[in-house]
Amino acid sequence: MKIKNVNEIDITGKKVLIRCDLNVPIKNGIIQSDARILASLPTIELALRKKAKVIIMSHLGRPKNECYEKKYSLLPIFEYFKKKINYTKVYFSNDFSNILPIKTGELLILENVRFNSGELKNDEILSKKYSNLCDIFIMDAFGSAHRKQASTYGIGKFVNIACAGLLFMSEINNLKKALKNPKRPMVSIVGGAKVSTKFNILNKLCNISDTVVVGGGIANTFLAINYNIGKSLHEPTFISKAKTLINKYNNIIIPIDSRIGKNFSQNEPSIIKLPSKIQKNEEIMDFGDESIKKVVKIIEKAKTIIWNGPVGVFEFPNFRKGTETIAKAIANNTSFSIAGGGDTLSVIDMFSIKNKISYISTGGGAFLEFIEGKKLPAIHMLEKHFSH
Protein backbone atom coordinates (compact mmCIF):
# COMPACT_ATOMS: atom_id res chain seq x y z
CA MET A 1 0.00 0.00 0.00
CA LYS A 2 1.60 3.24 -1.14
CA ILE A 3 -0.08 6.54 -0.38
CA LYS A 4 1.21 10.07 0.09
CA ASN A 5 0.76 11.70 3.46
CA VAL A 6 0.36 15.40 4.20
CA ASN A 7 3.94 15.71 5.50
CA GLU A 8 5.29 14.80 2.05
CA ILE A 9 3.51 17.66 0.26
CA ASP A 10 4.12 21.41 0.29
CA ILE A 11 0.80 22.89 1.37
CA THR A 12 2.07 26.38 2.28
CA GLY A 13 -0.21 29.07 0.85
CA LYS A 14 -2.35 26.43 -0.86
CA LYS A 15 -6.10 25.93 -0.60
CA VAL A 16 -6.49 22.60 1.20
CA LEU A 17 -9.75 20.76 1.69
CA ILE A 18 -9.63 18.30 4.59
CA ARG A 19 -12.30 15.59 4.84
CA CYS A 20 -12.56 15.02 8.60
CA ASP A 21 -14.74 12.71 10.64
CA LEU A 22 -16.52 15.10 13.01
CA ASN A 23 -19.50 12.77 13.43
CA VAL A 24 -19.81 13.36 17.18
CA PRO A 25 -22.84 12.84 19.44
CA ILE A 26 -24.74 16.14 19.90
CA LYS A 27 -27.70 16.55 22.25
CA ASN A 28 -29.71 19.79 22.32
CA GLY A 29 -26.87 21.54 20.52
CA ILE A 30 -24.24 20.36 23.04
CA ILE A 31 -21.38 18.05 22.02
CA GLN A 32 -21.43 14.95 24.25
CA SER A 33 -18.01 13.56 23.29
CA ASP A 34 -15.27 15.45 21.46
CA ALA A 35 -13.03 12.39 20.92
CA ARG A 36 -13.34 12.48 17.12
CA ILE A 37 -12.77 16.24 16.96
CA LEU A 38 -9.62 15.94 19.07
CA ALA A 39 -8.38 13.13 16.80
CA SER A 40 -8.88 15.41 13.75
CA LEU A 41 -7.08 18.42 15.25
CA PRO A 42 -3.42 17.49 14.49
CA THR A 43 -3.95 17.59 10.69
CA ILE A 44 -6.03 20.79 10.85
CA GLU A 45 -3.48 22.54 13.08
CA LEU A 46 -0.59 21.36 10.90
CA ALA A 47 -2.26 22.93 7.85
CA LEU A 48 -2.90 26.17 9.77
CA ARG A 49 0.72 26.31 10.98
CA LYS A 50 1.94 25.84 7.43
CA LYS A 51 -0.15 28.87 6.41
CA ALA A 52 -2.50 26.97 4.13
CA LYS A 53 -6.01 28.23 3.42
CA VAL A 54 -7.87 25.50 5.29
CA ILE A 55 -11.39 24.26 4.51
CA ILE A 56 -12.82 21.30 6.41
CA MET A 57 -15.84 19.17 5.66
CA SER A 58 -17.52 16.29 7.45
CA HIS A 59 -20.76 14.38 7.74
CA LEU A 60 -22.87 14.25 10.89
CA GLY A 61 -25.57 11.64 11.51
CA ARG A 62 -28.00 10.44 8.87
CA PRO A 63 -30.22 13.32 7.68
CA LYS A 64 -33.21 12.16 5.60
CA ASN A 65 -33.24 12.67 1.84
CA GLU A 66 -30.06 14.78 1.87
CA CYS A 67 -32.02 17.72 3.28
CA TYR A 68 -31.14 20.21 6.00
CA GLU A 69 -32.11 19.15 9.53
CA LYS A 70 -31.10 21.44 12.37
CA LYS A 71 -30.10 18.56 14.68
CA TYR A 72 -27.49 17.45 12.11
CA SER A 73 -25.99 20.88 11.51
CA LEU A 74 -22.24 21.36 12.09
CA LEU A 75 -22.88 24.74 13.75
CA PRO A 76 -22.11 23.39 17.29
CA ILE A 77 -18.83 22.04 15.90
CA PHE A 78 -18.05 25.46 14.41
CA GLU A 79 -18.65 27.02 17.86
CA TYR A 80 -16.32 24.41 19.38
CA PHE A 81 -13.57 25.22 16.86
CA LYS A 82 -13.93 28.98 17.44
CA LYS A 83 -13.03 28.41 21.11
CA LYS A 84 -10.41 25.71 20.48
CA ILE A 85 -8.58 27.47 17.63
CA ASN A 86 -8.71 30.99 19.00
CA TYR A 87 -5.46 32.15 17.38
CA THR A 88 -6.94 32.60 13.90
CA LYS A 89 -10.21 33.42 12.18
CA VAL A 90 -12.70 30.56 11.93
CA TYR A 91 -15.60 30.86 9.50
CA PHE A 92 -18.70 28.78 8.75
CA SER A 93 -20.52 28.35 5.46
CA ASN A 94 -23.84 26.62 4.92
CA ASP A 95 -23.40 26.81 1.13
CA PHE A 96 -20.21 25.22 -0.19
CA SER A 97 -20.94 26.46 -3.73
CA ASN A 98 -20.73 30.10 -2.68
CA ILE A 99 -17.98 30.57 -0.09
CA LEU A 100 -16.07 33.70 0.80
CA PRO A 101 -12.33 33.64 0.07
CA ILE A 102 -10.19 33.01 3.15
CA LYS A 103 -6.62 34.11 3.87
CA THR A 104 -3.64 31.91 4.61
CA GLY A 105 -3.71 30.45 8.11
CA GLU A 106 -7.51 30.81 8.36
CA LEU A 107 -10.12 28.09 8.75
CA LEU A 108 -13.48 27.60 7.06
CA ILE A 109 -15.91 24.90 8.18
CA LEU A 110 -18.51 23.72 5.67
CA GLU A 111 -21.99 22.53 6.59
CA ASN A 112 -22.76 18.77 6.81
CA VAL A 113 -21.88 17.14 3.47
CA ARG A 114 -24.91 14.88 3.81
CA PHE A 115 -27.15 17.90 3.18
CA ASN A 116 -25.67 18.00 -0.34
CA SER A 117 -27.63 16.23 -3.07
CA GLY A 118 -25.60 13.34 -4.50
CA GLU A 119 -23.16 12.94 -1.57
CA LEU A 120 -24.22 9.40 -0.64
CA LYS A 121 -24.47 8.28 -4.28
CA ASN A 122 -20.92 9.46 -5.04
CA ASP A 123 -22.32 11.85 -7.67
CA GLU A 124 -19.68 12.96 -10.20
CA ILE A 125 -21.02 16.51 -10.58
CA LEU A 126 -20.92 17.04 -6.81
CA SER A 127 -17.45 15.44 -6.58
CA LYS A 128 -16.17 17.86 -9.23
CA LYS A 129 -17.69 20.84 -7.37
CA TYR A 130 -15.86 19.74 -4.20
CA SER A 131 -12.59 19.48 -6.15
CA ASN A 132 -12.98 23.08 -7.38
CA LEU A 133 -12.70 24.27 -3.75
CA CYS A 134 -9.06 23.28 -3.36
CA ASP A 135 -5.54 22.80 -4.71
CA ILE A 136 -4.97 19.79 -2.44
CA PHE A 137 -7.41 17.27 -0.94
CA ILE A 138 -6.48 15.69 2.39
CA MET A 139 -8.41 12.57 3.36
CA ASP A 140 -8.36 12.28 7.14
CA ALA A 141 -11.73 10.62 7.84
CA PHE A 142 -10.67 7.02 8.42
CA GLY A 143 -14.11 6.31 9.95
CA SER A 144 -15.63 6.92 6.48
CA ALA A 145 -12.85 5.28 4.44
CA HIS A 146 -15.07 2.28 3.66
CA ARG A 147 -17.74 4.46 2.02
CA LYS A 148 -17.76 5.31 -1.70
CA GLN A 149 -19.20 8.81 -1.34
CA ALA A 150 -18.51 12.11 -3.08
CA SER A 151 -16.52 13.65 -0.21
CA THR A 152 -14.51 10.52 0.64
CA TYR A 153 -13.92 8.91 -2.74
CA GLY A 154 -15.47 10.69 -5.75
CA ILE A 155 -13.52 13.90 -5.25
CA GLY A 156 -10.29 11.94 -5.82
CA LYS A 157 -11.10 11.59 -9.52
CA PHE A 158 -11.00 15.36 -10.06
CA VAL A 159 -8.34 16.82 -7.72
CA ASN A 160 -4.74 17.17 -8.87
CA ILE A 161 -3.27 16.16 -5.52
CA ALA A 162 -4.83 13.88 -2.86
CA CYS A 163 -3.03 12.66 0.25
CA ALA A 164 -3.75 11.17 3.67
CA GLY A 165 -3.90 13.22 6.86
CA LEU A 166 -2.06 12.45 10.10
CA LEU A 167 -5.00 10.61 11.70
CA PHE A 168 -5.58 8.50 8.59
CA MET A 169 -1.92 7.42 8.52
CA SER A 170 -1.92 6.74 12.27
CA GLU A 171 -4.98 4.48 11.90
CA ILE A 172 -3.39 2.45 9.11
CA ASN A 173 -0.01 2.12 10.83
CA ASN A 174 -1.52 1.00 14.15
CA LEU A 175 -3.90 -1.49 12.53
CA LYS A 176 -1.00 -2.96 10.55
CA LYS A 177 0.97 -3.27 13.80
CA ALA A 178 -1.85 -5.33 15.33
CA LEU A 179 -2.30 -7.51 12.24
CA LYS A 180 1.19 -8.10 10.84
CA ASN A 181 3.48 -10.19 13.05
CA PRO A 182 1.66 -9.35 16.30
CA LYS A 183 3.27 -10.24 19.60
CA ARG A 184 1.66 -13.37 21.00
CA PRO A 185 -0.57 -14.46 22.53
CA MET A 186 -2.97 -12.30 20.52
CA VAL A 187 -6.50 -11.97 21.93
CA SER A 188 -9.52 -10.49 20.14
CA ILE A 189 -12.69 -9.45 21.96
CA VAL A 190 -15.73 -9.03 19.73
CA GLY A 191 -19.03 -7.87 21.18
CA GLY A 192 -22.12 -6.27 19.70
CA ALA A 193 -25.56 -7.33 18.61
CA LYS A 194 -25.18 -9.25 15.37
CA VAL A 195 -23.11 -12.16 14.11
CA SER A 196 -24.31 -11.39 10.58
CA THR A 197 -22.48 -8.05 10.45
CA LYS A 198 -19.34 -9.51 12.00
CA PHE A 199 -19.24 -13.05 10.59
CA ASN A 200 -16.39 -12.32 8.15
CA ILE A 201 -14.39 -10.42 10.74
CA LEU A 202 -14.83 -13.29 13.23
CA ASN A 203 -13.59 -15.72 10.61
CA LYS A 204 -10.50 -13.57 10.00
CA LEU A 205 -9.81 -12.97 13.71
CA CYS A 206 -10.17 -16.67 14.55
CA ASN A 207 -7.58 -17.30 11.86
CA ILE A 208 -4.99 -14.84 13.19
CA SER A 209 -5.70 -14.73 16.95
CA ASP A 210 -4.74 -17.21 19.64
CA THR A 211 -8.10 -16.60 21.36
CA VAL A 212 -11.33 -14.89 20.29
CA VAL A 213 -13.79 -13.88 23.01
CA VAL A 214 -17.37 -13.23 21.85
CA GLY A 215 -19.94 -11.24 23.81
CA GLY A 216 -23.34 -9.57 23.49
CA GLY A 217 -25.86 -10.77 20.93
CA ILE A 218 -23.03 -12.45 19.03
CA ALA A 219 -22.27 -14.74 21.99
CA ASN A 220 -26.00 -15.46 22.36
CA THR A 221 -26.16 -16.77 18.80
CA PHE A 222 -23.30 -19.16 19.64
CA LEU A 223 -25.06 -20.21 22.86
CA ALA A 224 -28.25 -20.89 20.87
CA ILE A 225 -26.45 -23.75 19.08
CA ASN A 226 -26.87 -25.92 22.20
CA TYR A 227 -29.29 -24.07 24.49
CA ASN A 228 -32.71 -22.53 24.57
CA ILE A 229 -31.81 -18.95 25.47
CA GLY A 230 -35.31 -17.54 26.06
CA LYS A 231 -35.91 -14.11 24.58
CA SER A 232 -32.21 -13.19 24.43
CA LEU A 233 -31.06 -11.03 21.51
CA HIS A 234 -29.64 -13.35 18.87
CA GLU A 235 -29.95 -14.28 15.17
CA PRO A 236 -31.71 -17.61 14.62
CA THR A 237 -30.85 -17.57 10.89
CA PHE A 238 -27.14 -17.39 11.75
CA ILE A 239 -26.99 -20.25 14.26
CA SER A 240 -25.79 -22.69 11.59
CA LYS A 241 -23.01 -20.29 10.50
CA ALA A 242 -21.97 -19.82 14.12
CA LYS A 243 -21.81 -23.61 14.35
CA THR A 244 -19.49 -23.80 11.33
CA LEU A 245 -17.13 -21.33 13.05
CA ILE A 246 -17.14 -23.32 16.31
CA ASN A 247 -16.43 -26.51 14.36
CA LYS A 248 -13.69 -24.89 12.28
CA TYR A 249 -11.83 -23.17 15.13
CA ASN A 250 -11.10 -24.28 18.68
CA ASN A 251 -10.12 -20.83 19.97
CA ILE A 252 -13.56 -19.22 20.38
CA ILE A 253 -14.53 -18.44 23.98
CA ILE A 254 -18.26 -18.15 24.69
CA PRO A 255 -19.81 -17.37 28.11
CA ILE A 256 -20.16 -20.25 30.58
CA ASP A 257 -22.63 -18.28 32.71
CA SER A 258 -24.70 -15.14 32.13
CA ARG A 259 -26.48 -12.27 33.87
CA ILE A 260 -30.10 -12.45 32.90
CA GLY A 261 -33.22 -10.34 33.39
CA LYS A 262 -36.91 -10.57 32.50
CA ASN A 263 -37.29 -7.03 31.15
CA PHE A 264 -34.98 -4.90 29.06
CA SER A 265 -34.98 -1.88 31.35
CA GLN A 266 -32.65 0.40 33.30
CA ASN A 267 -33.50 -0.90 36.78
CA GLU A 268 -34.06 -4.57 35.98
CA PRO A 269 -32.34 -6.74 38.63
CA SER A 270 -29.78 -9.24 37.36
CA ILE A 271 -29.51 -12.92 38.23
CA ILE A 272 -26.58 -15.16 37.26
CA LYS A 273 -27.54 -18.40 35.52
CA LEU A 274 -26.00 -21.20 33.51
CA PRO A 275 -27.17 -21.16 29.88
CA SER A 276 -28.99 -24.48 30.43
CA LYS A 277 -31.19 -22.89 33.13
CA ILE A 278 -32.53 -19.91 31.17
CA GLN A 279 -36.34 -19.68 31.01
CA LYS A 280 -38.50 -18.60 28.06
CA ASN A 281 -39.28 -15.21 29.62
CA GLU A 282 -35.65 -14.39 30.43
CA GLU A 283 -32.91 -12.73 28.41
CA ILE A 284 -29.12 -12.70 28.61
CA MET A 285 -27.77 -9.19 29.08
CA ASP A 286 -24.20 -9.65 30.37
CA PHE A 287 -21.47 -12.16 31.27
CA GLY A 288 -21.74 -14.02 34.56
CA ASP A 289 -18.93 -13.95 37.15
CA GLU A 290 -17.28 -17.23 36.07
CA SER A 291 -17.16 -16.06 32.43
CA ILE A 292 -15.66 -12.74 33.54
CA LYS A 293 -12.93 -14.48 35.58
CA LYS A 294 -12.07 -16.76 32.67
CA VAL A 295 -11.78 -13.87 30.19
CA VAL A 296 -9.77 -11.65 32.56
CA LYS A 297 -7.17 -14.45 32.93
CA ILE A 298 -6.88 -14.67 29.13
CA ILE A 299 -6.49 -10.88 28.80
CA GLU A 300 -3.83 -10.71 31.53
CA LYS A 301 -1.56 -13.02 29.50
CA ALA A 302 -2.16 -11.28 26.14
CA LYS A 303 0.65 -9.43 24.31
CA THR A 304 -1.65 -8.02 21.58
CA ILE A 305 -5.33 -7.16 22.07
CA ILE A 306 -7.94 -6.19 19.48
CA TRP A 307 -11.20 -5.01 21.05
CA ASN A 308 -14.45 -4.22 19.28
CA GLY A 309 -17.72 -3.92 21.14
CA PRO A 310 -19.14 -4.32 24.67
CA VAL A 311 -20.02 -7.80 25.98
CA GLY A 312 -23.33 -6.77 27.59
CA VAL A 313 -25.89 -4.01 28.03
CA PHE A 314 -23.37 -1.72 29.72
CA GLU A 315 -25.83 1.21 29.68
CA PHE A 316 -27.80 -0.56 32.45
CA PRO A 317 -25.96 -0.55 35.84
CA ASN A 318 -26.99 -4.13 36.71
CA PHE A 319 -25.63 -5.47 33.39
CA ARG A 320 -22.40 -3.49 33.25
CA LYS A 321 -20.01 -5.71 35.21
CA GLY A 322 -18.80 -7.85 32.29
CA THR A 323 -17.99 -4.94 30.00
CA GLU A 324 -16.49 -2.85 32.84
CA THR A 325 -14.24 -5.62 34.22
CA ILE A 326 -13.04 -6.70 30.77
CA ALA A 327 -12.45 -3.07 29.71
CA LYS A 328 -10.38 -2.42 32.83
CA ALA A 329 -8.43 -5.66 32.33
CA ILE A 330 -7.53 -4.50 28.80
CA ALA A 331 -6.55 -1.08 30.20
CA ASN A 332 -4.34 -2.65 32.89
CA ASN A 333 -2.50 -4.81 30.37
CA THR A 334 0.59 -2.83 29.31
CA SER A 335 1.00 -4.73 26.01
CA PHE A 336 -0.23 -3.33 22.67
CA SER A 337 -4.02 -2.86 22.60
CA ILE A 338 -6.20 -1.43 19.86
CA ALA A 339 -9.88 -0.60 20.28
CA GLY A 340 -12.48 0.55 17.78
CA GLY A 341 -16.19 0.93 17.10
CA GLY A 342 -18.76 3.45 18.34
CA ASP A 343 -19.95 1.56 21.42
CA THR A 344 -16.37 0.70 22.32
CA LEU A 345 -15.52 4.42 22.41
CA SER A 346 -18.52 5.01 24.71
CA VAL A 347 -17.26 2.29 27.07
CA ILE A 348 -13.77 3.82 27.08
CA ASP A 349 -15.27 7.22 27.97
CA MET A 350 -17.56 5.75 30.64
CA PHE A 351 -14.72 4.06 32.52
CA SER A 352 -12.09 6.79 31.87
CA ILE A 353 -9.50 4.40 30.41
CA LYS A 354 -8.62 6.40 27.27
CA ASN A 355 -4.98 6.89 28.29
CA LYS A 356 -4.51 3.18 29.00
CA ILE A 357 -5.41 1.85 25.55
CA SER A 358 -2.42 1.87 23.17
CA TYR A 359 -4.48 3.01 20.20
CA ILE A 360 -8.13 3.98 19.87
CA SER A 361 -9.45 3.80 16.32
CA THR A 362 -12.03 6.38 15.23
CA GLY A 363 -13.38 3.92 12.68
CA GLY A 364 -16.29 1.55 13.19
CA GLY A 365 -17.11 -0.16 9.90
CA ALA A 366 -13.78 0.94 8.39
CA PHE A 367 -11.90 -0.53 11.38
CA LEU A 368 -13.64 -3.88 10.90
CA GLU A 369 -13.29 -3.97 7.10
CA PHE A 370 -9.58 -3.13 7.30
CA ILE A 371 -9.01 -5.96 9.80
CA GLU A 372 -11.03 -8.25 7.56
CA GLY A 373 -8.59 -7.50 4.76
CA LYS A 374 -10.92 -5.56 2.49
CA LYS A 375 -9.54 -2.77 0.30
CA LEU A 376 -11.16 0.43 1.56
CA PRO A 377 -12.36 2.75 -1.25
CA ALA A 378 -10.58 5.82 0.20
CA ILE A 379 -7.28 3.91 0.36
CA HIS A 380 -7.78 2.74 -3.23
CA MET A 381 -8.35 6.39 -4.28
CA LEU A 382 -5.20 7.57 -2.47
CA GLU A 383 -3.13 4.76 -4.02
CA LYS A 384 -4.18 5.92 -7.47
CA HIS A 385 -2.90 9.41 -6.65
CA PHE A 386 0.43 8.01 -5.45
CA SER A 387 1.04 6.39 -8.83
CA HIS A 388 0.23 9.59 -10.79
Whether residue 366 contacts residue 144, with contact meaning beta carbons closer than 8 Å, is answered with yes
The answer to the question of whether 179 is labelled as a binding residue is no
341 known member of a binding site? yes
DSSP state of 126: H
304 annotated to a ligand binding site: no
- Collapsing DSSP to helix, strand or coil, 67 comes out as coil
Say if residue 123 carries a ligand binding annotation.
no
Question: Is 365 known to be catalytic?
Answer: yes
Please indicate if the annotation marks 22 as binding a ligand.
Answer: yes
Question: Is 21 labelled a binding residue?
Answer: yes
Residue from 148, 194, 303, 374 carrying the catalytic annotation: 194
Query: Binding site annotation covers 192?
Result: no
62 marked among binding-site residues: yes
349 is in an annotated binding site: no
Q: Which of 180, 283, 193 is nearest to 230 (CA)?
A: 283
Residue tagged active-site, from 82, 129, 365, 374: 365
> Is 303 annotated as a binding-site member?
no
Measured between alpha carbons, how far is 134 from 17 in angstroms, rounded to an integer? 6
Given 4, 36, 50, 204, the catalytic residue:
36
Our answer to whether residue 342 is catalytic in this structure is: yes
Beta-bridge partners for 336: 304
Is there a binding annotation on residue 342?
yes
Q: Which of 342, 354, 356, 374 is catalytic?
A: 342
Exposure string of 187-222, with b = 16+ CB inside 10 Å and e = fewer, is bbbbbbbebeebbebbbbbbebbbbbbbbbbbbbbb
Strands 283-287, 258-261: pairing kind: antiparallel
Q: Which residues contact 317 (CB under 8 A, 6 or more apart)?
A: 266
Name the binding residues for (2R)-3-phosphoglycerate: 36, 114, 147
Name the binding residues: 21-23, 36, 59-62, 114, 147, 198, 315, 341-344
**Catalytic residue positions, numbered:** 36, 194, 342, 365
Name the binding residues for ATP: 198, 315, 341-344
